[in-house]
Structure 1
Amino acid sequence: MSSHPRGHLVYAARGVLSVHTGQGTSIVPANRVAWTPAGTTHHHRAHGDTDMRIVFLPPSLARLVPDHPAVFTASDLARSALLTLTGPRNYDPAARPLDPAARARLRRVLVDELHEAPEQPLHLPDPHDDRLQAVARLLHESPADNTPLAELGRTIGASARTLSRLLHHELGMTFYAWRTQLRLLSEGHDTTYVAHACGWANPSHFIAAFTKLVGTTPGRHRAGRQGDPFGVV
């Protein structure tokens, strides 16, 4: 885990990233960009063959984005700005370097684009209570496990009522919603594989749940770009 004095944007030009902070885990496919504020302890994880791009923002621009970790849709313009700011002109001696004024303008365009983009619900909050963390470890190890909360509670030494209360107070969601979101944001391959691995007998039910959470189907979620972790609409 690390932190930086400046906030930064992370983009997967190819593949899928996850950004882990004390507030939870953000999943960043190739049509999303993640924001991590200055001073936030975090680490990144690449899922598969991933091309990670990072843009640090000066404080004057960081004020225009949220003061918490967030994920946004990457518009065509935002994506182009990100790729230019992190492309060969920044490290290839044979390429004409990007001058500081142009870099500042591109960063401003990028932040303006993100300012207009709604935050995406691709964030899985992490619990702080030891009992919820124990349940979370069990669910991460086996996302397809349909063990009821009461039985999970007996395993870790807490009642279902206590765990439900903690979920409501810490995460603002029910156990069903928490487990469903954890499953939906699990890394995977094609839609059928992910659906079965995460406990859905019918991939169409997985697609319906994914669409309800993210706002689009798994296939359309990639918007025709590289790095989509799901294979069909």
Structure 2
Amino acid sequence: MMQKIRHTPVAPTRTQRLAPGGEIDAHRHDDHQIAYASRGTIAVTTDAGSWIAPATRALWIPAGTVHQHQAHGELDLHLVGLPTTDNPLSLDKPAVLAVSPLLRELIVAYTRAPSNDTPPHHNLRAVMLDQLALSPERPLHLAVPTDPLLRELHDILRTDPSDNRSLDDLGRQIGASARTLSRRLRDDLGLTYPQWRTQIRLHHALILLADHTPVTTVAHHCGWSSASTFINVFRRTFGHTPGTRLTT
């Protein structure tokens, strides 16, 4: 549970640079907010779990959501505040959105330009909102399980994503059968064990890549049998290879 929550009524629109490991502490806004990292990887944590996004993704943070930001790698963070009347995708929960090359440039330009009440500024905002409305949601949410057994399993896998033991073996360690754990995963998170483990591994992989860890090392540390297997999974999920560097 996050403590010392700040209340900042207006969500800011700005560009901010954070050093690796830098944080913006727990807070909430009365506005919606978009968080986009044109360099590095941004993680947003709420009581419901964590969302993480490389440069091909943006994070949607609904009004009133208590959240904190953390930088992985050198971070160029672009924040867009939107009033509650502007919700192009009608999302009421945090989400990861795909960012097209056009949307990327619009967000970067909008957050770097001084806020002003001029027609060009309004036009830029309107096109950005139109592009946001076309952005598909991506399943990069790492939910925190509510079930005590799953929380125990979650801690094991987050501590060592390369742990390749079967669900039967892990279940013996925490005192539950694979069948019980599988059923609770479906009921709690709506995922199979392989799907959940892949999500955990991809989250960890994004953090390592943001720190410029070699792809082969990332694959090994995150439990993939080979770099090529990791690259294929990463490409299917993010639309580009893990070695791609997308910067401004």
TM-score, normalization by structure 1: 0.82
Any idea what SS the aligned residue of 1:185 has?
helix
In the aligned structure 2, how far is the partner of 1:44 from the partner of 1:99?
A: 29
| Alignment pair present for 1:127 and 2:127 | no
Larger helix proportion of the pair:
1
Structure 1 segment 3-22 matched on structure 2, within 5 A: 3-22=28-47
Are 2:98 and 1:80 aligned?
A: no
1:205 to 229, 237, 240: 229
SS in 2 for 1:62: coil
Q: 1:86 to 1:101 in 2, by over 3 A?
A: same
**Structure 2 length-normalised TM:** 0.78
Q: CA separation of 1:99/1:142 partners in 2, compared to 1, >3 Å: closer, same or farther?
A: same
**Greater shift after overlay, 62-71 or 36-45?**
62-71
SS of 1:59 mapped into structure 2? coil
C-alpha distance 83-212 of structure 1, shift in aligned 2 (>3 A): closer
CA distance in 2, matches of 1:63, 1:217: 29
SS of structure 1 residue aligned to 2:138: coil
Q: Which moved more, 1:196-205 or 1:15-24?
A: 15-24
Match of 1:32 among 57, 60, 75: 57
Percent identity over the alignment is 43
Residue of structure 1 in register with 2:163 after alignment:
145
Q: What letter is aligned with 2:224?
A: W
Displacement after TM superposition at 1:160 (Å): 2.2
Looking at structure 1, the residues matched to 138 and 214 of structure 2 have their Cα atoms a distance apart, in angstroms, of: 22
2:17 is aligned to: none
Name which of 172, 176, 194 aligns with 1:176: 194
Confirm or deny: 8 A CA contact 2:40 2:75 kept in the other structure: yes
Structure 1: segments with no counterpart, 5+ residues: 91-96, 228-233
**Secondary structure at 1:80 match in 2:** helix
Q: C-alpha separation between the residues in 2 aligned to 1:124 and 1:214?
A: 15
Which protein has the bigger strand share?
2
Gaps of 5+ in 2: 1-25
CA RMSD between the two structures = 2.2
State whether structure 2 residue 219 is matched by structure 1 residue 195: yes
